[in-house]
A and B are shown apart, each in its own frame.
Chain A
Amino acid sequence: MAETSKIVDGFLFMPPALRAWISKDIPEQPFSGQIPWTPLGKSIRETTFSLITTAGISMRSDPPFDMEREKDEPAWGDPSYREIPKTATERDIEVSHLHINTTHIKQDINVMLPLTRFQEFEQQGLIGKLAPTCYSYYGFQLDPTALLDETMPKVADRMRHENVEAVLLTPA
């Protein structure tokens, strides 16, 4: 894509106090550790995708994410995940999240988990495929141990089973 001079301000929409509180834990220096890397090595037109969002989206037929425990234990966030079929629409879902306004996602799931757009991309040949299953977990994870040790192995297994090669991640 074309070069752009815009530098995104990730706190533009935040009140100054919240900005100060959240950014105090972010280092000034660039990240210097190792970053794991799987090269794509092919065109997106030949790639099978899945989507993962942190927005706390669940199918109405499944239990919603646990918000009640977080109200009692403010440092705890539900570490489980939900599978969202690629054909799901806003009519099929619940959205549980205590840190954002969920109204917009309930009006149009694509603002957060772009299932319909990716199905269109598939039909138009812009991507290879959207795998049958996409995923949501809940983004508020101060301690990500359970998410990484228990939840993600199940997600990765399922994705491998569905021949997923690339994933679009959309944090809320």
Chain B
Amino acid sequence: MGQVAHYLEAKGFSTVTLTNTPEFHRQVGIPRVAAIEYPYGRPVGQVHDQNGQRQVLMAALSVLEDATEPGQVVHLPFTWPEEPKKTDWQPPEISPIIKLNLDEIKKLGAEARKKKVSPH
């Protein structure tokens, strides 16, 4: 999405990206970032929560209106009401690219857990 934002800005459109993963900004440099700590696939809010969705969108539009230079990241203050594990954002089947890399992913997971137990 960062590259699409680049493309649009270069063509004369102002953009704001409402993203669950602002970390990607370090990789691609997103023009205006409204970061939201909501599950993947629901950056605007919960199903049928009209009021909550409006608040998130108006906050994202404030980022669009107020940003004065490229690369600004605003972390929105909203908190998702469910435990992360209970958000049910994952697809019913493991995605093809993850299936293909499953051994490596499991290895990295084991390393990450080890690091957590004995930090250096």
Contact = CB atoms under 8 A, between A and B. Distances in A.
Interface of A: 1-2, 4, 6-13, 15-21, 23-31, 33-40, 43-44, 52, 54-55, 70-71, 73-75, 97-105, 107-108, 110-112, 114, 117-118, 120-121, 126-127, 137, 139-140, 142, 144, 147-148, 152, 156, 159-160, 164-172
A169 B18 contact: yes
A166 B12 CA distance: 9
Contacts of A167: 8, 13-16
Interface string B41-66: 11111111010011001111111111
Interface residues of B, number: 89
Contact of A126 (B17, B30, B58, B69): B58
Contacts of A44: 61, 64-65
Contacts of B61: 44, 127, 168
B96 interface: yes
B4 A147 contact: yes
6 closest A-B pairs by beta carbon, nearest first, are A17-B109, A10-B21, A74-B96, A31-B29, A35-B70, A100-B41
